[in-house]
Amino acid sequence: QRVNVTVRSGLPMVLSGSAEPCAQLVVSSIGVVGTAEQNQRHSARFFDVLTAQLGLGTERIVIRFYPLEPWQIGKNRTVMTFL
C-alpha cells in the first residue's frame, strides 16, 4: 500500500558520459530512506534486483533516495499525516 512504481522504458539517457543502456531508480518514502545506513542496505537490495532483472552492470545504475515527510504526500483527500 505504501509503494508505487513507475517504469519508463526506452527513454534516451546518458550516465557517466555514456548513452549505453542504463537505469535510474528514484526511491521516496516516509521514514524509510532517511539515513545513510538505511539507504546503504536498500541500495544493496535494489542493485541485486536491478542487475539481475535488467542485465546491467552496477556502474550503469544510479539510485536516488528522497526522504519525505507525511505532510508531503496526499491521499484520500488529505495528507498522510492524518491517515
Question: What are 6-33's pLDDT values in tens digits?
Answer: 889 999 999 999 999 999 999 999 988 9
- Indicate which CATH number applies to the domain containing 49: 3.30.429.10
Q: Provide the number of structural domains found in the chain.
A: 1
* Cα angle 56-66-59, degrees, rounded to a multiple of 5: 20
Mean per-residue pLDDT of the chain:
93
- 42: nearest Cα among 54, 60, 29: 29
The domain in which residue 47 lies consists of: 24-80
Does residue 34 carry a pLDDT above 90?
no
**pTM higher than 0.85, yes or no?**
yes
Amino acid 28: pLDDT: 92
Does residue 2 carry a pLDDT above 80?
no
What CA–CA distance (Å, rounded) separates 20 from 22? 6
